[in-house]
Structures are given as C-alpha cells and as structure tokens.
C-alpha cells in the first residue's frame, strides 16, 4: 500500500488510474496541472508521484525539475513519448522510472513497488552520519531528518538542504551567492527565492524575521544560523541608553 499522487490532465485516464490504484489498496490523490501538483507535494507526504508529461499549464519535464526542487519523492513518468533520448534526459533530470502509454495498472503497480523497494533499501543501508546540533536543533544530513527540541520538523527537500547547510556552519555568515551555488546549484538567481524559503523555514522553527531565534539575516551580507541567546548572553545595555533590537 502506498500514498500516490497522480498528475494527469486527461479526466478519463485519471479516473481509471484512481479507481484501479484504489482497488489495489493504494491511497490516491490526483490533480490535473503542474501547479496543483507542486501545491500537493508541499502540503502532503507521498510515497510516489505518477507524472504525465502533457500537462496544460507546464510541460511535465519542467514540472519534474520544479518537483525535484522541493521533494525527494520517487517520480514515475507516464508518457506517450517513446523517444529514447527524451527518456534518458528525464531520468538524468531526476525521474526514478518511466512508463510509455498505454500501460496496465498491474504494470504501474509493479514499477511503483520496485521504485519504493529501492528507496527503502537506500534508506535502510545508510552508514552512520555526523549529526549536527545547534542549541535545541538537531540535523542528520545523511538521513535527512531534523528535530527542534525533540520534535521532528516536517521540511521540504529545499528547506532541509538550506537548514543543513547553515547548521553545518553555526555562527558563520553565509553570503547569498554561496547559498545559491551550494543549496540551489545555481551560479546566479533571484534573492527572493532565498527569502521565501527562509520565511517558510522560520515558520517551522517557530520564529519570525522580526524576532529571530536561530536564523539571522544581515542585510546586504548574508544569513547565519546560531543557537538562541540566553538572557545571560544578551549584550549589556549602557547606562542611560535605550536598548537596540538585535538583528
């Protein structure tokens, strides 16, 4: 039994997949556009995504690229395209498997089972990793798990990558250009991308930009992660001078 997201714009095909996968005891959610798929994986955990390439709002190959930016969930491409070069390109772009239409639900279920076995086997064979601890924050980069004060954090792929990168350099101000290069694998980009992910990450860490605990932004310089200050560590206030907010 698996939790499956079906991304298919053809209502007839979609209904057939939902019915047949449900009859095979899988839990199924479905959408008809790439943007809806991105919203779904951002809010729900899935074991596998079945992704059609001919979507109305965005080509499936671009949707795959965007999905890989926020999640590690296995993706099986469902396509009517049987061009070998295209299939190889999709596998290199992050697809875990592909099926050429038409296919039976038994064939799809078998491919799903194989993909899930590989994913679970890889997770079970991980060697011990160096766990990073910063204050009440614990990050295990190898197992891709993070906790705050003993409570697991539900992070997207990119949120985890950002958190792990900063946690591995506690107290160090990391320039935005370096974040783009190391976390997003881009030599250039929009600072708003970083700001949006920082905002989501702060929300899950129980803080805000105005009242930071772990994540501190230095305007025009970069971002750093450090443990929250205790009252004893707060800078002393000079007599007769008002206190200034910390960055």
CA distance 158 to 70: 5
**Least confident residue range of 60-64, 117-121, 150-154:** 117-121
In this predicted structure, the answer to whether residue 230 has a pLDDT above a threshold of 80 is no
**How confident is the model over 68-92, as a mean pLDDT?**
82
Name all domains of the chain by residue range, CATH numbers in brackets.
3-124 (3.40.50.2300), 132-230 (1.10.10.10)
Beta strands in 25-123 (DSSP E): 27-31, 48-52, 75-79, 97-100
Share the mean pLDDT of the chain. 82
**How confident is the model over 62-80, as a mean pLDDT?**
85
Give the pTM: 0.53
pLDDT band at 173 (very low <50, low <70, confident <90, very high): very high
CA distance 96 to 53: 14
Q: What is the pLDDT of residue 133?
A: 92
| CA distances from residue 123 to 163, 184, 230 in whole angstroms, order as listed | 20, 23, 37
In this predicted structure, the answer to whether residue 89 has a pLDDT above a threshold of 80 is yes
pLDDT band at 120 (very low <50, low <70, confident <90, very high): low
């Amino acid at each position: 039994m698996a939790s499956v997201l079906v991304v298919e714009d053809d209502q007839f095909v979609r209904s057939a997949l939902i019915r047949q996968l449900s009859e095979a005891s899988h839990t199924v959610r479905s959408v008809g556009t790439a943007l809806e798929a991105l919203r779904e994986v951002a809010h729900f955990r899935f074991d596998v995504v079945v992704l059609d390439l001919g979507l109305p709002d965005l080509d499936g190959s671009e949707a795959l690229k965007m999905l890989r930016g926020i999640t590690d969930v296995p993706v099986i491409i469902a396509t009517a395209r049987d061009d070998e070069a295209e299939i190889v390109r999709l596998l290199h772009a992050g697809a875990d498997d592909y099926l050429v239409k038409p296919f039976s639900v038994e064939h799809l279920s078998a491919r799903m089972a194989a993909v899930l076995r590989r994913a679970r086997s890889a997770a079970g064979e991980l060697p011990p990793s160096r766990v990073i601890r910063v204050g009440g924050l614990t990050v295990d980069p190898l197992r891709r798990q993070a906790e705050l004060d003993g409570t697991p954090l539900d992070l997207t792929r990119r949120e985890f990558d950002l958190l792990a990168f900063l946690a591995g350099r506690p107290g160090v101000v990391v320039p935005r250009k370096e974040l783009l290069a190391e976390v997003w694998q881009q030599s250039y980009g929009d600072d708003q991308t970083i700001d949006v992910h920082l905002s989501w990450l702060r929300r899950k860490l129980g803080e805000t930009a105005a009242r930071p605990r772990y994540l501190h932004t230095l305007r025009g310089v970069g971002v750093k992660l450090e443990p929250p200050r205790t009252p004893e560590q707060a800078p002393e206030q000079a007599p007769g001078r008002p206190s200034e907010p910390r960055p």
